[in-house]
Every structure is written in C-alpha cells, then in structure tokens.
Amino acid sequence: YSNSPLTSLTCHLLLQTKLPDYYEVWMDIACNLTHLIESRTLRDVVQKMPELSLHHLHSHRELRLAHLALGVITMGYVWQEGQMAPAQVLPRNLAVPYCLLSQKLGLPPILVYADVVLANWKLKDPNGNIEVIFSLPGGETCSGFIIVSMLVEKAAGPGIMVCTSTVPIFHISTLRLGLGEVTRALKSMKEAFELMHYSDSKKGISRWRDNPMLPNGLVYEDISDEPVLLSGGSAGQSSSIQCFDALLCVRHYDETAAFLARMREYMPAPHQRLIHSLSGSLRDFIMPCSNPDLCRSYNSCITALLDLRNYHINTVAKYVLVPAHHARLSGCPLGGVGMALDSRGAGGSNIMGFLKTVRNNTQKALIEAAVLEHTVAFR
C-alpha cells in the first residue's frame, strides 16, 4: 500500500530530486516555474520545449517525480494569465508525455494531492526538516501550505499502520490498543494542522472541472479531440483521512459520498486498494460485543476525527476563503484560482457545505450514551 510507519502514505521511497539528464528541460522549467509565470514567459518556453520520450525513466521514484514536474508545468501553463485567459489547449509536446506517464502510474494528467503534497518534498537537513521540491506561485506561503499538509499526512503514519495490522484482527484487547493508536494519530494530525497559521494561501492548485473559467475543460493536443474535465488537488484526495473513515465506518451519503468516491480515483492505486480493504464491519463488531471500554475507545477515535474536521473547517474559512477573495480583488496573476476557491474547493465541491456535511456524518458515527449504558448494564 506504499505505507511506512515514518511517513504514512507519502512517497517515503521517493526522496528523489533529480531526473536523468535527458529530462533536464522539464526540471529546469518546473524549478523556475514562479519566475516564468510572473514574467509571462512560461507558455513561450513550453512551446519551444522538445517532446521527450518516457524510455529513460526506469524507477517508480523517477516516474512520480516526472509526474510532479509535468503537473506543475501544466498548472502554470494553463493559469499563466490568470482568470482572464486560461489556456484552452495543452500543447502536444507537454500533453503527450504527461498523459502517457499518467496512464503508466494510474493517475490523472492534472496536478493532484498525491503529487503536490505526497510527492513534493525532500529532506532539507540531517535533522529531518523538509522543504518542497517545486515551489508554486505564492512563495513561502504556498510552500508552507504544502509542507503542513505533508506533516499532517506524516502524523497519520502510526494510525495507518495499525489499520493494516492489528485492527483487522477483531480481537477485543488488540482492538482497544489499536484504536488507542488511531486516536493518538488523529490528535497528532490536528497538532500538525495547527501549523497552518503560517500558511494562508492555496494559490496555483486548480482544476478544469466545475470551473467557470474553463467550463468545457482542457484539450490535450493529439490525445483528446474534446476537452477533458478533471478535478484539481484537494484535501478530499487525502488517502489517510479516507482510510480512517473506512476503518471507523463513517458513512457518507448522496452527493458527499459521490464526491469522495470520485476523489479516490485521483489517488494512487495502492491507496485506493487500502481504503477498499478497510471498508468493513468494525462498528458492527463493536456494537453487540457488550464491552463498554471498547465502545469508549471507538468513540475516542470518532471524537478525535471530529476535532480534526472542525479545525479544518475553521482553517479553510480563515486561510483559504478569505485570501482567495483578496486574490480575486487584487487581480494577481493567479487570481482566477483565487476566485475558483472562493466558494468551491480545488476538487470542485462547495467547500464549506461539503466540510460541514462530512463533519456531521462523522458525529453520527458516535456510539450513543444510551447504548453505552446498556452495555454496562448487560455486562
């Protein structure tokens, strides 16, 4: 499932910052993306770029790094001129290798969460501090957003490991220990999330689906005759959060369930399989087993997940919606992205309505006090 205790579902094997020399042009453009956008020269540079083969990419690490590089180049190419003039067509020399690489990895040809967060980091020093590989417009603010998001994913690591080992055994004593570890992981994720105070923007991560600036989608030259509709990177694509939902049997319905199912299509295939494997009957096992301590352990997990989601709601309101509104008013180069995020998330959801619905569905998973009292009496 591409998981390790140290780094959760992030690309722990990646730690790759270079591609073979053959791909130097991709790396140069991606590394200088912000300057090229601000100078309005990115599109010209991309159009002069040679069309490269994938034959010199030999490892999964190299494939993921290349996908990240082409993703940020594509994002910059489309939004160089902001909301007034997004590109309608991705040129062949970028579209063909990007789509072939995406097919190889089982990822869509757009900058997704698995790219910009899970794969876009490297060790900064021997002390374990990290930094982004490719910076997006927004400078330190945007880089901080990416790093904090990665730290949230990293904090999920011990809980994810429990999901794949002790919890599925369905033995009461083992379950209690495992659920305790999940609770601690969720609390650590919230603590990491609190660092978002140093990051107030989500510029540069957008989509060509449910987007008024690209209502028909994006044409990938010599790949698609018709425009393609794709959702951009979104926290809804966090494999860790959907793992915990699946494990704890948090049920979502209607449009919310449909959106989360669609977001899973933007995750790496091993992560999709992990979520599917965890979707089961944990709550149904706990309810009739007449063990109040186990019920309380389960509720502790749900409460920690609720706290995380409440904090997410407050953070989005303060550090995404408000800055996005200011970006739109200021007419910055990526103001179109700001406008898109003003009321809808990068994945295309009505962001606040969606987050509150997910939070409310999480609360419904709590085992009610009356049930707990019954289990105590029965015991």
Each residue's pLDDT tens digit, 296-306:
999 999 999 99
Distance CA 321, CA 319 (A): 6
Residue 378 lies in a domain: no
Residue 14 lies in a domain: no
Binding site, annotated residues: 312
Whole-number pLDDT of residue 334: 43
Q: Side chain identity at 222, as an amino acid letter?
A: D
Whole-number pLDDT of residue 349: 53
Give the distance, in angstroms, between the CA of residue 42 and the centroid of all CA atoms in the same chain: 26
- Structure tokens that stand for 241 in this block: 């959060």
DSSP element (H, E) containing 310: helix 292-316
Sign of CA dihedral 246, 250, 256, 257: positive
Residue 325 lies in a domain: yes
Query: Residue 135's closest CA among 224, 199, 46?
Result: 199
Residue 333 lies in a domain: yes
- Structure tokens that stand for 74 in this block: 């594509």
CATH number of the CATH domain containing 81: 1.20.58.480
| 219 φ/ψ angles, rounded to the nearest 5 degrees | -85, 130
CA angle 264, 265, 268 (to 5 degrees): 80
**Collapsed DSSP state (helix, strand, coil) of residue 116:** helix
Residue 64 lies in a domain: yes
Strand intervals (E) in the chain: 89-90, 122-123, 130-131, 219-220
The CA-based dihedral angle spanning residues 45, 50, 51, 57, taken in that order and rounded to the nearest 10 degrees: -100
β-pair partners for 230 = 208
- CB atoms near residue 370 (< 10 Å): 8
Residue 12 lies in a domain: no
Whole-number pLDDT of residue 74: 97
Report the chain's mean pLDDT, rounded to a whole number.
83
Distance CA 321, CA 354 (A): 14
Query: pTM of this prediction?
Result: 0.84
| 228 φ/ψ angles, rounded to the nearest 5 degrees | -105, 135
Binding site, annotated residues for heme b: 312
Residue 2 lies in a domain: no
Give the chain's domain count. 1
Instruction: Give per-residue pLDDT as tens, 35-70.
Output: 999 999 999 999 999 999 999 999 999 999 999 999
Spatial contact of 68 and 31, defined as CB atoms under 8 Å apart: no
Range of the domain at 201: 21-371
**Collapsed DSSP state (helix, strand, coil) of residue 8:** strand
Residues of the chain with pLDDT under 50: 4-7, 13-14, 198-204, 332-342, 347-348, 370, 376-378
Whole-number pLDDT of residue 199: 42
